Amino acid sequence: MTHQVHIIGGGMAGSEAAWQLARRGIRVRLSEMRGARLPGGGDSTAAHNSDGLAELVCSNSFRSDDDEKNAVGLLHYEMRQCDSLLMTAAAKARVPAGSALAVDRDVFSAEVEAMLAAQPTLEVVRERVDVLPTEGLAIVATGPLTAPALASSIGAATGAESLAFFDAIAPIVYRDTIDMDVAWMASRWDKGAEASIAMGGDGRDYINCPMTKDQYFAFREELLAGEKTEFKEWEASTPYFDGCMPIEVMAARGVETLRFGPMKPVGLDNPHWATAEHPNGRWPYAVVQLRQDNKLGTLWNMVGFQTKLKHAEQVRVFRTIPGLEQAEFARLGGLHRNTFLNSPTLLDRQLRLKSAPHIRFAGQITGCEGYVESGAVGLLAGLMTAAEIAGREWTAPPHTSALGALLSHITGDAEAETYQPMNVNFGLFPPPDPATKKKQRKEAYTARAKADLAGWLPALG
């Protein structure tokens, strides 16, 4: 099949871009290096575990699904309005997680592959692409783990070095190895209970492992003392992205930092302590939470526990957590280096490389952060390319929408000198009416976005 668009990378962004194009009858070649038959075996990355398209390598959560008060929830809503592949697959793979949208990662990837395979104008090819295409329309969506040869080709085309940051992966625990005589099920302040129940949960979607004050301080010392993965010389100056800060790095920032972050105990009343004499009373000093990671409920993700501890140290240190003394790990944490472009400098408002406008970039390589944001930029790149092929003038989504705010940040609103990966947030949106009361600002953002998006959707054709 002679293709009209070549998409390089079958992750979140590449898969979404391919879907948007193929659904419009455009012939697409989607190149994914994982699973390629190369000399010496197949190709992969330091973070991936499978050859599946749109594999989730870190958390299994797409974060909040609340489209009334949360920017990422609003982005979910807007992507659904644009017939998003990823949002459709997520609905089929959803697992209980309160008000968050979490999925069974294997079911999710399988759904993405099946939906793409059903498109007659789409060809998925397992191959590694080492150089940027010199002609024809292309979308580069190779993500933060772009292969070295292609990264060098991108560097040569941009005339500038890519920026980089570290991303860390949280461990996953087998559910039947958690001691529920110590741990218990609950969500903070019952937050998300209604959404959980609506999705078949019971409103108590997190496993909670309690700590006394002494246990907390001892655990923090173990995190600080544990043997860490060593940096290579070229990695030494690479900064972390705050959204994926390793747990031990957070611990080093202050004695109480973890208690105001991933180990926050607020609203968690320990039923085991409430029915017996306990020196700490009913309320833990700190709590480790685990979130369901697959539909069967057999795998649970340690929330916020991204880490660069060596594997043996992870097992030793994390088994000091009450309730996890006998824990078995389906996956241990890890650390990998992410690369991204200085997009405000290198890309135009349609995500095209200024020095080679037949090439668009999409996903995390543009400097967005998060599964949903990556997919959203892939969606936009697909829509832009479809408009170009149809000879139709591209109309950008309104800046007041989540899609528009994210796109504007990537392609020009951000300061190029200090450009860093960014999740979607209301700080990227134009402020609402100054007369809006503070408690109503989030609702004002989302109501305005939905109204403005409705006026934009017909422009997609």
Annotated binding site for FAD: 9-14
- What Cα–Cα distance (Å) separates residue 144 from each residue in 64, 260, 452? 23, 29, 32
Return the C-alpha torsion angle 194, 84, 55, 3, nearest 10: 170
Q: Under a CB-based contact definition with an 8 Å cutoff, are residues 44 and 34 in contact?
A: yes
Cβ atoms of 158 and 354 closer than 8 Å: no
| Phi/psi-derived region of residue 206, left when phi > 0, alpha when psi is between -120 and 50, beta in every other case | beta
| Of 359, 401, 402, nearest in space to 384 by CA | 359
Three-class SS of residue 165?
strand
Contact of 312 with 190, CB cutoff 8 Å: no
The rounded Cα 58 to chain-centroid distance in angstroms is 7
Identity (one letter) of the amino acid at 388?
E
In eight-state DSSP terms, residue 411 is: I
Annotated binding-site members: 9-14
135: which 2 tokens?
């002609």
Distance CA 273, CA 271 (A): 5
Q: To which H or E segment does residue 389 belong? A: helix 371-390
Amino acid at 441: R
| Tokens linked to 364 | 């995390």
- CA nearest 140: which of 22, 52, 33? 33
Q: Which residue has the tokens 């699973």?
A: 35
